[in-house]
């Protein structure tokens, strides 16, 4: 069947990445990865997948290991080799004290076929034994973008990059970024256990080549050091870090950089951006406001950050998720300076750092825990705000003067009495408690009101204290941020000004 292509991202189980033993050429690895991008998260079983010959031609052109021969010859050679390559991996079964290995093929077959539009394709089917490593992945898996891997020329670079990325995103949240492995085990994973007996050749032809390509063409930066036992080098340590300033080269088919996506989005009319903002729910709008207050651009917040927040548990609580995202980032980043932090945060988002299963689950648990501490009235308000825009929700609460917090009557006798007492002191007579006095002069147009935060705190101390308490509660998970006080003050000032203009 023809699978509709979306963004070319493949998900592979970390267990497979770290334990499988195989050796594939660059073109074979790229073809396997491309096939994996055709799998859908909802698939429960493998189907057959059609890969256009034009896509395979791109893979062959990007591979410098075999240039001779016609395209037909190179295509036939690739299909012949990919159906013959095997994977071995250790199992828990032993015979006579020796651990048995598992042996499986990558693909079950590769057959030329026309699709429904008459385009020449190759129909592939993954080997059934690959299911645990490619389908139904809920945790401990890593995503790989095909376009990033497609630029690499060395098969060792691709394989080492996969191992490094899987290790880094599974362990960095625990403060670990050094992948350690014996030289013997590492060579076994690369499928070259019997090659490069001279360590100098192994380092020059494998390790140094991979380091150069990974550092130049991916969002990771790696370096090596070694452990000796006597005069022999026995173990390898790979130090892995993430770039905050990486901008991959754009593809003609699919722009992948933040700048490219931003340029494409900002080419839309300004009123389209405004309409998108106005369509946000209350919780989404709060999340959006928090991001823009932090320094993230409006387009990036709408196109890159908010779409990350998925799942029924998070609907109506997107603002909490964003606060916990920023709190985690602030705790882990080593970048200094407000502008540099915004750039680094954007890098985390673009590199799908927050979408790694373990971290996403951690942030989700924090949101759920926060939800449990809510009062019934706030929870009820959030529930009814889920399906309407922020503007419509605020209209419902216009008389309450407390967005998303404790419900109040549409009016209160105390408030009406205080209002009329003020009128009487100014005009010398009391008006009806339930209707405005017709003798009162018309209020100044709202657009002429000038808001002063310092004056507001003196003139409306009770309102200021209430808003301050609400915003502190909303920013509870953000106390560790270096700019927590500034963010809190900006938010309080915005809500005070909103209250002031609503009067």
149-204 tens-digit pLDDT: 888 999 999 999 999 999 988 887 777 889 999 999 999 999 999 899 999 999 99
Instruction: Find the range with the poorest average confidence among 361-365, 416-420, 466-470.
Output: 416-420
User: What is the layout of strands, in order, in the sheet containing 232-242?
Assistant: 178-182, 232-242, 220-229
Residue that is written with structure tokens 């809510």 in the block: 374
Closest to 398 in 3D by CA, of 501, 280, 258: 501
Cross-strand partners of 239: 178, 223
Where is mean pLDDT largest: 29-38, 90-99, 389-398, 423-432?
29-38
Cβ 33 vs Cβ 10: under 8 Å: yes
pLDDT at 438: 42
Helix, strand, coil % (nearest 5) of the chain?
55, 15, 30
Residue that is written with structure tokens 């990059």 in the block: 161
Predicted confidence band at 439 (pLDDT cuts at 50, 70, 90)? very low
Predicted confidence band at 266 (pLDDT cuts at 50, 70, 90)? very low
Predicted confidence band at 244 (pLDDT cuts at 50, 70, 90)? low
pLDDT in tens, 110-129: 998 888 888 889 999 999 99
- pLDDT of residue 399 exceeding 70, the answer is no
Structure pTM? 0.56
Taking the CB of residue 204, how many other CB atoms lie within 10 A of it?
A: 12
- pLDDT of residue 272 exceeding 80, the answer is no
pLDDT at 63: 63
Token representation of residue 339: 């502008």
Give the DSSP H/E element, type plus range, for residue 59: helix 53-61
Among the residues of 352-483, which ranges form H helices? 357-372, 376-385, 390-396, 413-427, 453-459, 461-474
Q: Find the largest Cα–Cα distance for the chain.
A: 105
- pLDDT of residue 268 exceeding 50, the answer is no
pLDDT at 306: 92
Residue that is written with structure tokens 């410098």 in the block: 64
Tell me how far apart the alpha carbons of residues 360 and 268 are, in angstroms, rounded to a whole number: 31
Who wins on pLDDT, 447 or 415?
A: 447
- pLDDT of residue 275 exceeding 50, the answer is yes
pLDDT at 246: 60
The structural domains of the chain, ordered by start, are 1-150 (1.10.10.10), 153-243 (1.10.10.10), 258-396 (no CATH), 413-502 (no CATH)
- Give the up-direction half-sphere exposure of residue 177: CA atoms within 13 A in the CB hemisphere: 12
Mean pLDDT, to the nearest integer, of 43-58? 86
Cβ 416 vs Cβ 433: under 8 Å: yes
Long-range contact pairs involving 272-277 (C-beta distance under 8 Å, separation at least 24): 273/298, 273/299, 273/302, 276/302, 277/302
Cβ 106 vs Cβ 92: under 8 Å: no
Give the DSSP H/E element, type plus range, for residue 239: strand 232-242
Cross-strand partners of 142: 12
Give the DSSP H/E element, type plus range, for residue 276: helix 270-278
SS (H, E, C) 117-163: CCCEEEEEEECHHHHHHHCCCCCCEEEEEHHHHHCCCCHHHHHHHHH
Closest to 150 in 3D by CA, of 82, 265, 248: 248
pLDDT at 481: 60
Predicted confidence band at 253 (pLDDT cuts at 50, 70, 90)? very low
Who wins on pLDDT, 277 or 202?
A: 202
- pLDDT of residue 2 exceeding 50, the answer is no
Residue that is written with structure tokens 């387009």 in the block: 299
Mean pLDDT, to the nearest integer, of 273-301? 86
Who wins on pLDDT, 143 or 490?
A: 143
pLDDT at 425: 37
Token representation of residue 325: 């995202």
Mean pLDDT, to the nearest integer, of 426-445? 39
Instruction: Find the range with the poorest average confidence among 30-39, 291-300, 479-488, 490-499.
Output: 479-488
Predicted confidence band at 477 (pLDDT cuts at 50, 70, 90)? low
Residue that is written with structure tokens 């709190």 in the block: 327
Give the DSSP H/E element, type plus range, for residue 100: strand 98-105
Predicted confidence band at 321 (pLDDT cuts at 50, 70, 90)? very high
Mean pLDDT, to the nearest integer, of 238-263? 55
pLDDT at 389: 87
- pLDDT of residue 206 exceeding 70, the answer is yes
- pLDDT of residue 62 exceeding 80, the answer is no
Mean pLDDT, to the nearest integer, of 226-238? 91
- pLDDT of residue 224 exceeding 80, the answer is yes
Give the whole-number percent of the chain exceeding pLDDT 90.
22
Predicted confidence band at 444 (pLDDT cuts at 50, 70, 90)? very low
pLDDT in tens, 339-391: 888 888 888 888 788 888 778 888 888 888 888 888 888 888 888 888 888 88
Where is mean pLDDT largest: 188-202, 380-394, 419-433, 468-482?
188-202
Give the DSSP H/E element, type plus range, for residue 238: strand 232-242
Name the burial class of residue 216, with classes exposed (0-12), middle (13-18) and buried (19+) by CB atoms within 10 angstroms of its CB: exposed
Beta strands in 3-85 (DSSP E): 9-13, 48-52
The CA-based angle 260-262-266, given to 5 degrees, is: 120
- pLDDT of residue 450 exceeding 80, the answer is no
SS (H, E, C) 176-227: CCEEEEEHHHHHHHCCCCCCCCCHHHHHHHHHHHHHHHHHHHCCEEEEEEEE
- C-alpha 5 chain-centroid distance: 20
Three-state DSSP at 306 gives helix
- pLDDT of residue 66 exceeding 70, the answer is no
Instruction: Find the range with the poorest average confidence among 171-180, 464-473, 486-495.
Output: 486-495
pLDDT at 338: 82
Mean pLDDT, to the nearest integer, of 251-273? 44
What is the b/e burial string over 371-388, where b = at least 16 CB atoms within 10 angstroms of the residue's CB?
beebeeebeebbeebeee
Axis-axis angle for helices 484-502, 282-294 (nearest 10):
130
Where is mean pLDDT largest: 203-217, 312-326, 355-369?
203-217
Q: What is the mean pLDDT of the chain?
A: 78
């Amino acid at each position: 069947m023809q699978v509709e292509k979306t963004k070319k991202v493949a998900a592979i189980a970390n267990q497979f990445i770290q334990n499988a033993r195989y050796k594939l050429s660059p073109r074979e690895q790229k073809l396997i990865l491309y096939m994996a991008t055709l799998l859908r998260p909802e698939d429960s079983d493998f189907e057959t997948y059609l890969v256009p010959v034009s896509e395979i031609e791109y893979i062959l052109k990007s591979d410098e290991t075999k240039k001779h021969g016609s395209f037909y010859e190179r295509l036939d050679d690739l299909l012949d080799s990919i159906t013959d390559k095997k994977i071995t991996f250790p199992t828990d079964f032993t015979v006579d004290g020796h651990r048995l290995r598992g042996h499986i093929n990558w693909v079950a077959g590769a057959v030329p076929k026309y699709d429904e539009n008459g385009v020449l394709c190759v129909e592939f089917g993954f080997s059934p034994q690959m299911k645990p490593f490619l389908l139904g992945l809920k945790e401990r898996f890593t995503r790989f973008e095909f376009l990033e891997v497609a630029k690499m020329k060395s098969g060792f670079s691709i394989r080492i990059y996969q191992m490094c990325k899987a290790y880094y995103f599974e362990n960095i949240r625990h403060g670990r970024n050094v992948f350690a492995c014996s030289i013997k085990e590492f060579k076994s994973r690369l499928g070259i256990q019997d090659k490069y007996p001279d360590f100098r050749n192994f380092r020059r032809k494998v390790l140094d080549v991979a380091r150069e390509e990974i550092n130049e063409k991916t969002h990771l930066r790696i370096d090596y050091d070694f452990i000796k036992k006597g005069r022999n080098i026995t173990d390898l340590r790979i130090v892995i870090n993430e770039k905050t300033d990486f901008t991959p080269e754009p593809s003609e088919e699919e722009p992948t950089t933040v700048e490219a996506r931003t340029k494409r989005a900002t080419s839309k009319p300004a009123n389209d951006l405004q309409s998108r903002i106005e369509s946000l729910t209350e919780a989404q709008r709060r999340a959006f406001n928090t991001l823009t207050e932090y320094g993230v651009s409006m387009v990036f917040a709408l196109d890159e950050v908010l779409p990350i927040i998925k799942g029924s548990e998070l609907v109506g609580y997107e603002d909490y998720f964003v606060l916990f995202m920023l709190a985690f980032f602030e705790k882990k980043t080593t970048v200094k300076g407000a502008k540099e932090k915004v750039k680094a945060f954007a890098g985390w988002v673009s590199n799908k750092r927050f979408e790694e299963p373990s971290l996403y689950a951690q942030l989700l648990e924090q949101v759920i825990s926060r939800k449990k501490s809510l009062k019934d009235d706030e929870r009820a308000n959030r529930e009814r705000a889920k399906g309407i825009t922020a503007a419509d929700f605020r209209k419902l609460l216009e008389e309450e003067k407390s967005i998303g917090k404790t419900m109040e009557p549409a009016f209160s006798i105390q408030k009406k009495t205080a209002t009329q007492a003020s009128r009487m002191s100014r005009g010398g007579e009391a008006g009806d408690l339930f209707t405005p006095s017709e003798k009162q002069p018309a209020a100044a147009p709202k657009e002429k009101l000038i808001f002063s935060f310092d004056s507001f705190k003196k003139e409306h101390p009770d309102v200021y204290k209430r808003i301050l308490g609400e915003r502190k509660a909303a920013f509870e998970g953000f106390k560790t941020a270096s700019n927590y006080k500034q963010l809190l003050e900006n938010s309080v000032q915005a809500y005070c000004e909103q209250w002031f203009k609503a009067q």
